[in-house]
Amino acid sequence: MPSDFSIDADWNALHIDGEWTASESGDTLAVEDPSTRETVVDVPAGTNADVDAAYEAAADAQEEWAETPPAHRQAVVQQFLQALDAHSEEIVDLLAHEVGGSPLMGETSIQIASDHASEAATLPRRMKGEHADSNIPGKENLVQREPKGVVTVISPWNFPLNLSMRAVAPAIAAGNSVVLKPSTNSPITGGLLFAKLFEETDLPDGVINVVTGKGSDIGDRVAGHPESDVVSFTGSTSVGQHVAGLAGENLAIPAMELGGNNAFVVTDDADLDRAIDAATFGSFVHQGQVCISINRHVVHEDVYDEYVERLTERAEALQTGSAHDEDTVIAPIIDESQRDQMLEFVEETVDAGATLETGGGTVQMEGVEDSLLVEPTVLSDVTNDMSAACNEHFGPIAPVIPFSDVDEAVEIANDTEYGLSGAVHAGDLEVAKDIADRMETGNVHINDQPINDEAHVPFSGTGDSGMGTYNSDAFLHEVTETKWISIQHDHRDYPI
């Protein structure tokens, strides 16, 4: 008998108003394991009617949930955290089957998701108002913080567990209800899993609702639903612009984390041992399918050749294979469209004059006709306008760009419409801090790599990388609003 949290469990139901229900159409979507290219489970193909039912349930449940004492809301999130921990091994396995997550990716997802849930559990007691003096004699001003209402969460496929968690958990902790629409590629770990985990808590029916389905079928209805008060979206910039536009039509608050083209700057006096360690992780973890991974290595010309040689050696040493192999570091890409796009970027970059140091193709897998396993790839002699550098390649690809001085490094780093994350390695911390200050991006990490997320530290992007801020009090402010109540204690004299 399979566990309720295994890939062999029944995932073919939506979760609306506390009930597992079939989609109105009865249609399903197949979920393919990237390692085997086989269908491992079917999930419902939700309809607009299903979306409407989810928002109706969320709106009906929210008011009572908002009035629940903070200690109880805190306890529910803590119960969720306990359920997450209890089922962590099964969830790591789900991530392997659904998104090709290696064991490292799965364990990292659990750690980050747990951090976000732990932080969210503190929010109910931090929803404090304030008292403000008045310019009017005898008046008292009170400012209360209240939940927005219904929060829409549209989550991505690359890190579905923690990128759903960072919005769902704080939204619920703050007294909102949620409608969760996961990516078509990750309907379980980005969506239906949350409903099952919350079933092990005291969360009332209707506070969490999950609708799976194709974005092309129900995405617009989810993003633009009139019952929605906040729309949290993580994904590409082009789709995010569309989602934000639909949210804005209903005056819903858009919280968007979008694309990135993150620069990893290495100066001539950097500790190359540390820099190469960071570069290897920052480029190749989860096959580079991370919005805050290294997209461009910007390296001083004096250490450029050594850097390329050492990064190439590290890339070639990485273990490739099935996500179900505990030794695998580089597992398959999510699907063929992503694979073909990133390989096209590599081909165009080589055609433009770059040197392919290693990789650039796929690795055949036993029993798999059309492998999604892309070789770890290093490109040298790259310029910022080449395809693998100017586009978010979202793969295990490391384009290395030379620079001659700090001003040029900053110019290269900022020569993009994106501004999500970045990193600097330098022996002189004052120089590193100067570069970090001048990089036009929401996050910069000195003597580290750009893949960092701590739930108690604000996380945001600039430019085409999004709007709004996640984590800590910053996201609490996204999913709550202030209400001014004044009390006129003494008789007030009016001019008429």
Find the catalytic residue in 227, 291, 390, 392.
291
Collect contacts of 342-345 with beta carbons under 8 A, ≥24 apart. 342/374, 342/393, 342/394, 342/395, 342/397, 343/374, 344/387, 345/387, 345/388, 345/391, 345/393, 345/395, 345/397
Whether 226 and 51 have beta carbons less than 8 Å apart is answered as no
Instruction: Give the pLDDT score at 2.
Output: 76
Say how far apart CA 426 and CA 435 lie, in whole Å: 10
Domain topology for 14-258+465-483: Aldehyde Dehydrogenase; Chain A, domain 1 (3.40.605)
Q: What's the rounded Cα separation, in Å, for the pair 412 and 386? A: 12
Residue-range domain boundaries for the chain = 14-258+465-483, 262-446
Q: What's the N-to-C CA distance of the chain in angstroms?
A: 79
Q: Look at domain 262-446 and name its CATH class.
A: alpha beta
Catalytic-labelled residue, pool 32, 98, 227, 257:
257
Cα–Cα distance, 180 to 127 (Å, whole number): 23
291 as an active site residue: the answer is: yes
pLDDT tens sequence for the chain (496 residues): 678 999 999 999 999 999 999 999 999 999 999 999 999 999 999 999 999 999 999 999 999 999 999 999 999 999 999 999 999 999 999 999 999 999 999 999 999 999 999 999 999 999 999 999 999 999 999 999 999 999 999 999 999 999 999 999 999 999 999 999 999 999 999 999 999 999 999 999 999 999 999 999 999 999 999 999 999 999 999 999 999 999 999 999 999 999 999 999 999 999 999 999 999 999 999 999 999 999 999 999 999 999 999 999 999 999 999 999 999 999 999 999 999 999 999 999 999 999 999 999 999 999 999 999 999 999 999 999 999 999 999 999 999 999 999 999 999 999 999 999 999 999 999 999 999 999 999 999 999 999 999 999 999 999 999 999 999 999 999 999 999 999 999 999 999 9
**3-state secondary structure (DSSP) of residue 485:** strand
Active site residue 257: yes
Is there a shared CATH topology between the 14-258+465-483 domain and the 262-446 domain? no
Name the pairing type of β-strands 14-16 and 19-21.
antiparallel
